[in-house]
Amino acid sequence: MNGCPTHGPLVGGYALGALEPDEMDEMRRHVAICPECGPEAARLEGLPGLLDRIAPTDVPPPTLSPQVEEAVLDRFARERREEGAGGASERGAARAPRRPALLGPRPARLRRPLALAAAVAVALVVALALIFPGAGDDEGTAAYASVSLGAKADGMGSATAWLGEVPAGTRIRLETRGLPAGSEYEVWCIRTDGRWVSGGTFWADRDGRTEAKLTAAVRAGDYHRMVVTRRPEGAGEGARGPTVLGGALRY
């Protein structure tokens, strides 16, 4: 879930274009500078088009895992308590604003009831379960984490992966962009004990794109980082080449 304390609950509505015009303008300015909302908005930018292609009668209702449902409910129960505490503060003695100064005063319309933001977020979770592999793929798994992989050193390209639990460990649904073609790449999950666990290899097409389903023998919580390496030509089993992409998981 997005960890931004001021605008996080509105990212779903922003991605869907469901906010008021002044809210959309505020969010456009905010995502340009926020390290939490910026990547989240970019990850969801294709959501409206995907929703348009869904035929509701052809898609069964998603079965979200208990972990996903519990995380959503816990998050909004906590924010509702915080919202209530904040309201009591404002009615009492004046206190320093919790909103970061660089964002300026929060527009009144952004203070809409939390229930609306919660409804948008829950709808977004359901939509993701329907349309994103890894959030509800053909094995009925729910995504327990995602990761945005950026270029390392002099590397090129980027990638996004959705991670779901399967009997063999973790199903990795990987999409890449801008990777140089003609090389074999390998996905690695870096465990908390420092061990690298391979998730398999893939090739990028001539446009640098990949859509691959891979499997790694790791579980949620075992690891917090993923990297992509370029395999050296003729390399043996377990050999690692230079790291080209890397990123931290968002549980």
User: pLDDT confidence of 87, banded at 50, 70, 90?
Assistant: low
Same domain, 114 and 27: yes
Length of the chain in residues, anyone? Answer: 251
pLDDT confidence of residue 223: 95
Do 195 and 223 form a contact (C-beta atoms < 8 A)? Answer: no
Residue 41 has, within 13 A of its CA and on its CB side, a CA count of 23
pLDDT digits over 206-244, tens only?
A: 888 999 999 999 999 999 999 999 988 776 666 788 999
Same domain, 39 and 113: yes
Which of 83, 109, 131 is where one domain is finished?
131
Determine, yes or no, domain membership for 1. no
Q: Which of 140-154, 170-184, 205-219 has the lowest mean pLDDT?
A: 140-154
pLDDT confidence of residue 88: 53
Q: At residue 58, does pLDDT exceed 60?
A: no
What pTM does this model have? 0.48
Same domain, 100 and 181: no
pLDDT confidence of residue 150: 93
Determine, yes or no, domain membership for 169. yes
Cα distance between residue 158 and residue 174, in whole Å: 11
pLDDT confidence of residue 127: 55
Same domain, 18 and 103: yes
Which of 75, 108, 131 is where one domain is finished?
131
- Of all residues in the chain, the percent with pLDDT exceeding 70 is 59
Residue 196 exposed, middle or buried by CB count within 10 Å (0-12, 13-18, 19+): middle
Determine, yes or no, domain membership for 232. yes
Same domain, 183 and 240: yes
For the chain, where are the alpha helices, taking DSSP H only? 11-16, 21-31, 37-43, 47-52, 66-91, 114-131
Same domain, 12 and 113: yes
Same domain, 48 and 125: yes
Same domain, 125 and 54: yes
CA distances for 49 relative to 45, 116, 128, angstroms: 9, 22, 13
Determine, yes or no, domain membership for 3. no
Determine, yes or no, domain membership for 193. yes
Determine, yes or no, domain membership for 197. yes
Q: For the domain that residue 166 is a member of, what is the CATH number?
A: 2.60.40.200
Q: At residue 152, does pLDDT exceed 70?
A: yes
Same domain, 34 and 125: yes
Same domain, 119 and 210: no
User: pLDDT confidence of 162, banded at 50, 70, 90?
Assistant: very high
Which of 97, 131, 165 is where one domain is finished?
131
pLDDT confidence of residue 203: 93
Q: Which of 14-28, 165-179, 181-195 has the lowest mean pLDDT?
A: 14-28
Range of the domain at 91: 8-131
Query: Which strand ranges, in their side-by-side order, compose the sheet holding 196-203?
Result: 196-203, 184-191, 223-230, 243-250, 143-151, 158-166, 169-177, 210-216
Give me the number of domains the chain comprises: 2
Determine, yes or no, domain membership for 220. yes
Same domain, 13 and 126: yes
116 Cβ contact partners less than 8 Å away, ≥ 6 residues apart:
none
Determine, yes or no, domain membership for 49. yes
Same domain, 148 and 127: no
User: pLDDT confidence of 79, banded at 50, 70, 90?
Assistant: low
pLDDT confidence of residue 104: 46
Q: Which of 30-34, 101-105, 113-117 has the lowest mean pLDDT?
A: 101-105
Average pLDDT value for the chain: 74
